[in-house]
Structure 1
Amino acid sequence: MRRHIPSLQGLLCFESAAKHASYTHASQELCITQSAVSRQIQQLEEFLKLELFTRTRHGVELTLAGQQYYSLIKPYLLGLEQSTLDIMAHKGLGGTLKLGVVPTFATCWLLPKLHRFNEIYPEITVHLETSTKPFLFNETIFDAAIYAGTPQQIAHWPGVQTHYLMKEDLIAVCSPQLILKNFPDAQMINEYSYDLSPEQLIQLPLLQQTTRPTIWHEWFKTHQIFHPKSYDGHRHELFSMLAVAAKQSMGMALIPQILINPELHNKELVIASSKKLEGSRSYYLVHSSQESSPLIQKFIDWIQQELLLSSTQNEDRNIEE
């Protein structure tokens, strides 16, 4: 059967004209004449039996149908271009893995370790883009995603296969200067931890997470501590932002320990309490259930080994203490 796909040249002319709202700019970008751009778009409109542009005093603008078509084809043209560049770069060997990753996990945990994946699989290139919300894989250019969510959110993500990575347990951290300023006689229980009393904890300013505004209230309630202002404090969206604010002695933050081990090791942050909050969310690697890519499987095997190594190192550190 003949596929209902217009010519690639027509799509490229349409995409460029739509982006610039100008046939003239499209012709300059594509290095063809303006009349050639106009002819290609006219043929595309005849193929679709739709008008994609209307003329204005200043050039052209998309019709409603044109706006919709532009938003639909743009990611596919980008994906086609990237796939072409990838195959040229790898010369048919290995490939490229495009991952959507939650920002702080990418910056604080994945990127510092990714060189080890590259050493094992130099033929695989990993592209990372931040993504914080579920999406449909058939509408994106991602091969897989690392997502932090609840089991219920994962269960209602259609058409995916999931691989559990780890729980998101939260610990209370702050700068050592903040503790010494408020409690000069406080004693550490190990090289990077205090265990402040409930009376001491409620005296420290709090740093709140914008996306989870009740998180401190939940922590105090779980440990049966009454805090009259558990919702107060500066608000930041990402764990990485909370970590920076905490290092500047702006307050105490709840952050997964696995994301701030370097800061704890360097004593930029210290654990303020031995009490934890078992997170309702976990980290998962998610990919389309319709595809089974050997590149994805290699990445899954590698990241699970890295998590096992991190867990073993943490256990050894606890034994030493």
Structure 2
Amino acid sequence: MSADSMWSIGELAAQAGVTVKTVRFYSDRGLLPEAARSAGGHRRYGPEALDRLRMIRSLRTLDLPVPDVGRVLDEEGALEDVIAGQLRELGTRMAALRWREAALHLLQDCAPEDRAARLRLIGGMSTPPSTAPLARFWRQWLPPRLPARLTSTIIEHAVPQPPADPTPAQVLTFARLHAFVSGPCHGGRGQHQPTAHRRDEGYRPTVLYDGLIEAYALASPPLLTHRAPHEGQALDCFVAAYAHSAGTRDTPAFRRRLSGMLAADPRIDRYWHLTAELTDPSQPTAGAAHDWLCAALDAQVAEPAA
């Protein structure tokens, strides 16, 4: 390429309609390689630099970071990956903005005397909120050394996902849920755990939770149709989960003992009530299924005394 067919940095800037500072910026970052240097050491560019500079400007109008622009220019097929990454990032940012907007409406629309308390609640979580504190709560609440696949299944069903476009009421509910799992005594083991979580009571938690998952699924249909708690397959599966995990038989005496044990166990009703406000009504929470089954058991063991 002859010297006459090359441009100085100023000429290239004029051709592209940008400043010399812009051309120098991209050159210094390796996005716009110079073709040669003049005798005086000044940068010289060929006509292909103009097309490359125009491409850089087009990519930058989309707010692509400079490293991503370099990838698109130098790696075949990189544009598709970069676009996908930017769309994911943009989705995250937009979700954060929607949560902030709903949180601001929550504060704007409440009574002035409630704003300070609600502001403290909202300030206790990120926007959009992370589900990590909720998952951590369950890892602490569940019996130790459960198989990973069982723990994952329980957490997947017990932890509600933040809505992408929340209402102010959903923001408040999520904030209350985060405050609950972050409060004192919640999620601790030992004296705050249900009896069946304690190894010294002789229960096998893996057997128990495998059975409870099945029992809760069986209890969902009558819950959805608002049937009163009653005997049947769901209750039998529920009791069998406790009996098998304890290495004993399902007998009337065992059912009476189980009814008393479950009535004395610590409860996390607040968690399930808040979770129900955030989940699809067609999918009853495990807490609702557990309460329905406990009520069915209590009704059954009370019959002889009636």
Structure with the larger strand share: 1
Higher relative contact order (CA 8 A, sep 6+): 1
Task: Give the TM-score taking structure 2 as reference length.
Answer: 0.28
Task: Give the TM-score taking structure 1 as reference length.
Answer: 0.27
Structure with the larger helix share: 2
Which is greater in Rg? 2
